[in-house]
Structure 1
Amino acid sequence: MSRHNDRSLLNRRGFAGALIGVTAAAALPCIGSVAAAPAKTMRVYKSPTCGCCARWVGYVRADGWKVKVVNLQDVTPIKKQVGLLPQLASCHTAIADGYVVEGHVPLPAIEKLMAERPDVHGIAVPGMPQDSPGMGGGGIQDVFAFTRDGRTRLYTRVAG
């Protein structure tokens, strides 16, 4: 190979390397935004007269969540629409980043769900435990995970 061809090849390799470096550097901000945590937003379906639901919404908002409240006279159709198992039902149903969050779920369980992104349909604290967030708070809650096909398991046990 002649000297001219050697330089030409090196210049092309240098240019290709520089182009790859610039392209990769330009892509980094995009990669960062894709890997960023989901926004802390949720939609809550509840009765307009339910005080414990309103207190749970306040509890979640106090942690920085943006909550869109949808007041309904009957939340049962929403529970059916989102595929909630009847044995996991509570007084309100929330949707957060594609997950169902049923009932008086403590924030540490919601944060764990958002961080881990498990292959479940949602999490729930069934019923209305008196020591759960929105009902009085401070107690230890069993939070169950559930799948679309009806499997349930204990997801976490946390204070609320």
Structure 2
Amino acid sequence: MKTLISKLLFLLSLTVASAVWASDITMYKHPQCGCCEKWANILRDEGHQVTSKGTYNIEQLKNQMGLPNSLRSCHTAIIGDFIIEGHVPEKTLARFLADPPVGAQGLAVPGMPIGSPGMEHPTRKDAYDVLWFDQQGKAQVFEHID
């Protein structure tokens, strides 16, 4: 019986994650930023709807969202009620959306790590952290990527 309940809860979590993913993804970026569009295309290739909006006022947008400078990258995406900052891997994003930490406002990959999705390089891949953050800007490691 315990196994059946566990399986049902797992299937329910997949349904919830799919419902969140059914939401459109809106990505804000500088109009000439190519790596941002590469990241969006990775999500599109995985079947997600991504609307890309170019703006020369990206920092003003991040300020309005209350995104701390220490978490910022080149683009900001909105999925449902969550802020996704930077080059977050699709699988990490899916895991976060399936079971977000209590109080989470979003995920961030600060900076632009070489080798992250959209920042691929033929001979280099830096390790980096994907951080989850709350409304006060407090961040914790959600996943370390080697």
Q: Is the shorter-chain TM-score for this pair beyond 0.5, marking a shared fold?
A: yes
For 1:72 and 1:116, how far apart are their aligned partners in 2? 31
Does 2:100 correspond to 1:113? no
Does 2:80 correspond to 1:93? no
Equivalent residue pairs, number:
127
Seq. identity, %: 37
Q: For CA contacts below 8 A with separation 6 or more, give which structure has more relative contact order.
A: 2
Does 2:139 correspond to 1:152? yes
Describe the SS at the equivalent of 1:70.
strand
CA contact (8 A) 1:46 1:69 kept: yes
TM-score normalised according to structure 1 size: 0.72
Describe the SS at the equivalent of 1:155.
strand
TM-score normalised according to structure 2 size: 0.79
Structure 1 residues 78 and 136: CA distance shift in structure 2, 3 A: same
RMSD between aligned residues: 2.0
Describe the SS at the equivalent of 2:129.
strand
* TM superposition shift of 1:40: 4.8
Superposition pairs of residues 65-80 of structure 1, within 5 angstroms: 65-80=48-63
Describe the SS at the equivalent of 2:19.
coil
Superposition pairs of residues 4-153 of structure 1, within 5 angstroms: 37-38=19-20, 39-118=22-101, 119-136=103-120, 140-153=127-140
2:3 corresponds in structure 1 to none
Is the radius of gyration larger for structure 1 or structure 2?
1
Gaps of 5+ in 2: 1-14
Gaps of 5+ in 1: 1-33
